[in-house]
Structure 1
Amino acid sequence: MNRANGVLAVACAAQFMVVLDVSVVNVALPAIQADLRLPAAHLPWIAGAYALAFGGTLLLGARLADIHGHRRTFLGGLALFTAASLLGGLAGGGAPLVAARAVQGLGAAVLAPVTLTVLTAAFPEGPARVRALATWAAVGLTGGAAGNLLAGALTETLSWRAILLVNVPVGALALPVAARLLTDAPRRSRRLDLPGAVLATTGLTCLVYGLSQARARGWDHPAPVAASAAALLLLAAFALAERHAPSPLVPPRLLRSRAVAVGNLVTLLAGACFQIPLWYFLSLYLHHALGYTAMQTGAAFLPHTLLTLLVGLRVTPALMRRAGDRTLIVAGALAAAAGFGWQSLIGPGDGYLTGVLGPAVLISVGGGLFTTPLTAVVTSGVPEADAGVASGLLNTAKQVGGAVGLAALTALAPDTADPGRAFLACAGLLAACAALALALPSAGRDQQPFGGAGEQARLDGGEPVGPAR
């Protein structure tokens, strides 16, 4: 195995663990409650502590890679995530488990953006990078389904503790391999934008917290309203502060790129359907309407996982050599929209074959088609000095999209045995993604030089940065 393929292997292993742990505890919550004798009110915190810390600190974690180097950041994030998984698996009560899940989320926020950054550094633009991005994207797409399957199998055969402890040997094996394979590009001296980091982290944390509370308590409760209002104020202050910061957390020049701005908006809307909501609503439908056990529910997602892997790894890279990236993004979004539209017809009387498997084909094919070219468009042409924060923006858009989507969709479809209206809304969001994608440049064809023609973005100390080659 050459060095680039080794980097791909460790980056995908890390990405798989990060995405897996977004959903892995959901199926095991009844077993956790019984074993630790927890009141029902504690369960949302076990599920939500990870997402709260992850979504709230992603931008900060992304910028660390640009400041301290890809290798050091990757190893630090992986070590923190692995150690927190061990502590969570050994937790003897609800409070230590919630704390461990929050630290896992912090490790994931450092690790997730840099997994993409090390790939774009290891693979130059061209067919090799496309194949690497396809693998990375497919791993991310299948992580949620695999989390349900793995959690069901481990909980029923071993213990709920195994769903966290399984990360420990993976992390322990990946750490020395990553230490040997990863290298750091020369770094420019720059300071961390501490005011921006505080505003972004607290703003995103308040947003995720407010949405989780809205889902649990409703918008008539003061907690979600206050948290959401605070989030809007903090994020507005962050946007204003970034315009005047000497070393901004999110350089304004990034958002002047049409690929970055439009691509992240498309990612946000797609995340509102794929990241969390699809697995949430289907899991509860299978449990409540069809009476599936944890193991059966996990197995029911196998078609989603296998089809996404097949399309993402084999079909999409081949099509990207023949069709424009923008064309594949539009086609994939429309196919997924059709699948969600079909899924919206689901009802309490439908079985697995008619209610789940048919729509799964279109949803999985669509997701497998558009994720890799969208990632390629958003990351192409970004200067190396901003690669970490560009990856962080992409991951933040996915996570915030999932949190926003779940909060809105659960309010729209409170009856989890009949989630048709939620899936119909997803179909509409993905149709909007297809329309927005028409404004994207096509990576490798009509991609504009980063920052616009003639622009020379400057880093700290006035050093010019041109397009990535």
Structure 2
Amino acid sequence: MALDTALADVRSRRWTALALICAAQFMLILDVTVVNVALPAVAADLDLGRTALTWVVTAYTLCFGGLMLLGGRLADALGARRMLLTGLTLFTTASLICGLAPNATVLLSGRVAQGIGAALLSPAALALVTLTFRGPERARALGVWAAVGGTGSAVGVLLGGALTSGPGWPWIFYVNVPTGLALLAVLPRLLPKDPAPTVTRHLDVPGALLVTTATGALVYGLVQAGDSGWTAPATLLPLVGAVVLYTTFATVERRTRTPLMDLRMLTRRPVVAGSLLMLVATALLIAFFFLGSMRLQHVDGMDAFRTGLLFLPVALTTAIGAHLGSHLVTKAGPRACATGGTALAAAGCAPLAFLSPTADPWTTLLPALATAALGLGAVFVTATTTALGLIPAHEAGLASGIVNTFHEVGGTIGVALASTLALTTTPPTPSGFTTAFTACTLTAAAAALTSPFLIPRGRPHTTGGAHGMH
């Protein structure tokens, strides 16, 4: 009897720990979309121009994605528990700094620190989930983890609108502080102790800095194109610099003993296909949130709360698409699922290329974006299952890290391009949004046309669970 009670107590502690770990991950996902609805209010309060406003979104996703592989290596070397608590402390502190920010410099510094905290926290959190659970329980736990990612973006747009319209935009950051402090108070008592740290002198810090700086240079060049033009030195120099830095990164990875990214994985067709799909799908979805939020508030004159409310169905159709995609990808195969999903995204977005400035957003923008998001939800699942389900099980962890990195980098590039194409004037005009939505439609259509050739034949086999989705 005493043994049964002890086992029940251990099981209860495991699931309580999972709930709290997922709450921490939920904050990280929330902070990708919660900011979008608040951008016009942030710009007005802190007198931010288009470039600074774009970096409010991209600084976070850039550091989150660029440093995530290093965060995973640190969790392996120093202990997942230690890294999770370190990342959570940094993220919580940075959230307070963002909320108190009196100017662009402090806000962007806070967003960078949030991204670094997220890059330390997220891989450690997933490692703890996989270490804490075994057998059928692990599959259920990973399912909960994946669901948190899907609902995080949905809640983010609604919460962002409600907080911005209510107590004000700083509260989109302040809300993380009591949550983070509560988690820091409780989690240490529930998480398993770390083993002794392993030797860390071979951590590939240069690789992490190179890939993050390269992506930063790429984003800077894309943003500058909106102000200076595509052929201006201010645009071309950062873009050329990005190519040089990516090439240097590849050289470093081939020569270092413990590379951040095993570049041989990029010779695996399923990994390349899944990563590119993830990049395109995330770039489109985050661009939709960014463009839609700006258009609804600048062109249609909506307040932040109604904007968040309009985007809730869009976020929910993304989750529905992911659910449907998880069934279709095993029955029809990833090739058909990716082609259908990207084609649906193109068909949904196409009407927005012809949207009148006086059109009712509830009957035009909402159904168009909801349809596109339904397709993209299926593409997210297809990208993950292609990369993880068509390769040997022992490579699933490496492939998962690469796909997750492309997820964050895709969001970063999507916002940079959307800003450059749409926000060409102050305030933004309908013609800029038309250009940006046209580019989104063409991108989705190109993905639909190339998917049958890019994605290998075959049905996925289950390897590592829901690594790639968040």
TM-score, normalised via structure 2 length: 0.80
In the TM superposition, what is the alpha-carbon distance from 1:238 to its structure 2 partner? 1.2
Distance 1:194 1:43 in 2: 29
Contact 1:267 1:398 in 2 (8 A): yes
The one-letter amino acid of 1:84's match is: A
* Aligned equivalent of 1:222: 233
Q: Structure 1, residues 340-362: CA drift from partner, whole Å, max 9, x if none?
A: 23444433242224312322442
Secondary structure of 2:37's partner? Answer: coil
Distance 2:456 2:194 in 1: 34
In the TM superposition, what is the alpha-carbon distance from 1:379 to its structure 2 partner? 3.8
What's the RMSD between the two structures over aligned residues? 3.6
Residue 455 (structure 2) pairs with residue 444 (structure 1) = no
* Aligned equivalent of 2:310: 300
* Aligned equivalent of 1:140: 149
The one-letter amino acid of 1:263's match is: G
Going from structure 1 to structure 2, the CA distance change for 1:347 and 1:121 (only over 3 Å counts) comes to: farther
The one-letter amino acid of 2:300's match is: L
Distance 1:443 1:79 in 2: 38
Among candidates 72, 76, 92, match of residue 66 of structure 1: 76
Contact 2:162 2:304 in 1 (8 A): yes
Among candidates 272, 283, 294, match of residue 261 of structure 1: 272
Which piece of structure 1 moves more, 94-103 or 277-286? 94-103
Among candidates 232, 242, 250, match of residue 239 of structure 1: 250
Contact 1:203 1:234 in 2 (8 A): yes
* Aligned equivalent of 2:97: 87
Secondary structure of 1:443's partner? Answer: coil
Contact 1:137 1:372 in 2 (8 A): no
* Aligned equivalent of 2:441: 424
Contact 1:334 1:434 in 2 (8 A): no
Distance 2:452 2:164 in 1: 42
In the TM superposition, what is the alpha-carbon distance from 1:133 to its structure 2 partner? 5.1
Contact 1:204 1:231 in 2 (8 A): yes
The one-letter amino acid of 1:337's match is: A
Q: Structure 1, residues 54-113: CA drift from partner, whole Å, max 9, x if none?
A: 344333333323332332222221221111112222334443323222211211222334
Distance 2:350 2:49 in 1: 38
Matches within 5 A, 1:95-244: 95-121=105-131, 129=139, 135-179=144-188, 180-181=190-191, 189=199, 191-244=202-255
Among candidates 402, 408, 425, match of residue 411 of structure 2: 402
Residue 378 (structure 2) pairs with residue 375 (structure 1) = no
Q: Structure 1, residues 256-275: CA drift from partner, whole Å, max 9, x if none?
A: 4433222112211222212x
Aligned residue-pair number: 443
The one-letter amino acid of 1:88's match is: C
* Aligned equivalent of 2:365: 356
In the TM superposition, what is the alpha-carbon distance from 1:308 to its structure 2 partner? 2.8
Distance 2:250 2:409 in 1: 17
Going from structure 1 to structure 2, the CA distance change for 1:256 and 1:73 (only over 3 Å counts) comes to: farther
Give 5+ residue unaligned stretches, structure 1: 448-469
Going from structure 1 to structure 2, the CA distance change for 1:208 and 1:71 (only over 3 Å counts) comes to: farther
Distance 2:121 2:90 in 1: 9
Q: Structure 1, residues 163-215: CA drift from partner, whole Å, max 9, x if none?
A: 10111122223335544245668987562023323322322232233333334
Distance 1:177 1:316 in 2: 36
Distance 1:115 1:433 in 2: 35
The one-letter amino acid of 1:438's match is: I
* Aligned equivalent of 2:289: 279
Secondary structure of 1:263's partner? Answer: helix
The one-letter amino acid of 2:72's match is: A
Going from structure 1 to structure 2, the CA distance change for 1:440 and 1:169 (only over 3 Å counts) comes to: farther
Contact 1:89 1:161 in 2 (8 A): yes
Secondary structure of 1:63's partner? Answer: helix
Secondary structure of 1:352's partner? Answer: coil
Structure whose residues are more often helix by fraction: 2
In the TM superposition, what is the alpha-carbon distance from 1:116 to its structure 2 partner? 4.2
Contact 1:134 1:312 in 2 (8 A): no
Going from structure 1 to structure 2, the CA distance change for 1:212 and 1:18 (only over 3 Å counts) comes to: farther
The one-letter amino acid of 2:236's match is: V
Going from structure 1 to structure 2, the CA distance change for 1:158 and 1:224 (only over 3 Å counts) comes to: same
The one-letter amino acid of 1:246's match is: R
In the TM superposition, what is the alpha-carbon distance from 1:326 to its structure 2 partner? 5.2
Q: Structure 1, residues 326-383: CA drift from partner, whole Å, max 9, x if none?
A: 5544443333333223444433242224312322442232233332353244345677
Going from structure 1 to structure 2, the CA distance change for 1:257 and 1:155 (only over 3 Å counts) comes to: same
Identity %: 39
* Aligned equivalent of 2:468: none
The one-letter amino acid of 1:164's match is: F
Which piece of structure 1 moves more, 45-54 or 86-95? 45-54
* Aligned equivalent of 2:25: 15
Distance 2:99 2:454 in 1: 42
Going from structure 1 to structure 2, the CA distance change for 1:46 and 1:177 (only over 3 Å counts) comes to: same
Among candidates 284, 291, 296, match of residue 301 of structure 2: 291
